């Protein structure tokens, strides 16, 4: 899983295997360790009762909750992105959860074998 934070925007990208794990286990999680026992966890969690994509932050954990129906539709179709804008305390947080595509031009040292095939892979475009 990849986490990207920019301003009030939160984006998580998942590989094919992570999506399978998410669907079978109801959640998938990663951690980034900062030493001295400190870590930041980020996870996707399936929420059977939710009506929309939401994000929560508590005790060094960023959790994005995806409604079960939306998660199943996302996994079974060509839909790439789930998104929502969550308004709270006068701020708008933009939340995106996306399928992670393989790059059009391979990068040395990166294993993208579990990434989703890029839709433009056969187009000859490299950027």
Over the stretch 11-65, which tens digit does the pLDDT of each residue have? 999 999 999 999 999 999 999 999 999 999 999 999 999 899 999 999 999 999 9
pLDDT digits (tens, 9 = 90+) for 54-70: 999 999 999 999 999 99
Residues near 28 by beta carbon (within 8 Å), at least 6 away in sequence: 1, 14, 18, 21, 22, 43, 44
**CATH for the stretch 2-99:** 3.30.1360
DSSP line for the chain: -EEEEETTEEEEEE-HHHHHHHHHHSEEEEEEEEETTEEEEEEEEEETT-SS-EEEEETTEEEEEEEHHHHHHHHHSS--EEEEEEEETTEEEEEEEEE-BPPSS--TT---TTSBPPTTTTS----
């Amino acid at each position: 899983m990849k986490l990207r934070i920019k301003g009030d925007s939160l984006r998580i990208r998942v590989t094919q295997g992570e999506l399978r794990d998410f669907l079978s286990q109801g959640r998938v999680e990663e951690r980034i360790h900062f030493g001295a026992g400190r870590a930041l966890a980020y996870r996707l969690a399936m929420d059977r009762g939710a009506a929309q994509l939401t994000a929560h932050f508590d005790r060094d954990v960023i959790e994005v909750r995806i409604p079960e129906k939306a998660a199943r539709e996302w996994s079974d179709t060509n839909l790439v992105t789930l998104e929502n804008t969550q308004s709270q305390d006068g701020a708008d947080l933009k939340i995106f959860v996306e399928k992670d595509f393989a790059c059009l031009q391979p990068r040395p040292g990166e294993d993208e074998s579990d990434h989703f095939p890029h839709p433009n892979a056969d187009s000859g475009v490299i950027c």
